[in-house]
Amino acid sequence: MTLLLLIRHGTNDWVHGRLAGWTPGVHLNEEGRLQAAALSDRLGDLPIAAIYSSPLERCVETAAAVAQPRGVNLRLVEQIGEVRYGEWQGAELKELYKHELWPGVQYYPSGTRFPNGESLGEAQMRVVLALDGLRAQHPKQIIAVFSHADLIKLAISYYIGMHIDLFQRLTINPCSLTALAFERMGPRLLAFNDTGSLAHLRPRPEEPTPEQPADVSTADDVAATTATEKPE
């Protein structure tokens, strides 16, 4: 089998309220760097054959923390980069909550397109095609792919047979690890949103509503805001 490790990047200063998307220059903050170092330790001596990353800085920095101590080359893949949020990129989430497309993004993502951006369905097909291509290059090996919450959630939804309109029910926290084994009988979900701690199980603020937006704990992946996770 091939074992695919899907890892979200660590925390950055955009995590609390803005949609980073493909905005350049968004780096890990001190918390994110500590998360990345802890992730590297947590992976231990797992024989990772290859490491791939979204080209965005926050992903590259997280992946480098794992690749460098192991002497594994880090390869960048644009197709596993963030959702193309179009006009929403860089916006404050408290403003996006009021947008007429917000309900569609949350409850009907299969039929909703970001203004001058891509749809979540297109993003799902993009990341799945990329992951299928990467794992085909590494039969019977372990590969690590560093990406973003929405992309990871979309990939998981596809591989476990969950309709895309339900993918908001998944939560992917910063520097979390999700593992999928691709066996003869199909993919198997071995680990999900593993952060090595129980911090993500603590109570969160109530879900935002258009009438009264709430504070969020993450803010780069807009689709996470209806679940216990909020976008990075």
Question: Hey, where are the domains in the chain?
Answer: 2-226
User: What is the architecture of the domain spanning 2-226?
Assistant: 3-Layer(aba) Sandwich (3.40)
Measured between alpha carbons, how far is 117 from 223 in angstroms, rounded to an integer?
14
Mean pLDDT of 30-42: 97
pTM of the predicted protein model: 0.86
Digit-coded pLDDT (tens) for 37-73:
999 999 999 999 999 999 999 999 999 999 999 999 9
What percent of the chain is predicted at pLDDT more than 70?
Answer: 85
Residue 217's pLDDT is what? 36
Which residues are bridge partners to 5 per DSSP? Answer: 144, 179
Which of the 8 DSSP states describes residue 211?
Answer: S
Measured between alpha carbons, how far is 165 from 109 in angstroms, rounded to an integer?
6
Give the contacts of 16 (CB within 8 A, at least 6 positions apart): 215, 216, 217, 218, 219
CB distance 178 to 39 below 8 Å = no
Digit-coded pLDDT (tens) for 96-131:
888 999 999 999 999 999 999 999 999 999 999 999
If you search the block for the tokens 């690749």, which residue do you land on?
67
Digit-coded pLDDT (tens) for 71-88:
999 999 999 999 999 999
CB distance 105 to 120 below 8 Å = yes
Nearest alpha-carbon partner for 175 in 119, 229, 108, 114: 229
Per-chain mean pLDDT for the chain: 89
CA distances from 118 to 28, 54, 57 (A): 26, 17, 21
pLDDT class of 201 with cuts at 50, 70, 90: low
Measured between alpha carbons, how far is 214 from 74 in angstroms, rounded to an integer?
38
Residue 14's pLDDT is what? 87
Digit-coded pLDDT (tens) for 122-179:
999 999 999 999 999 999 999 999 999 999 999 999 999 999 999 999 999 999 999 9
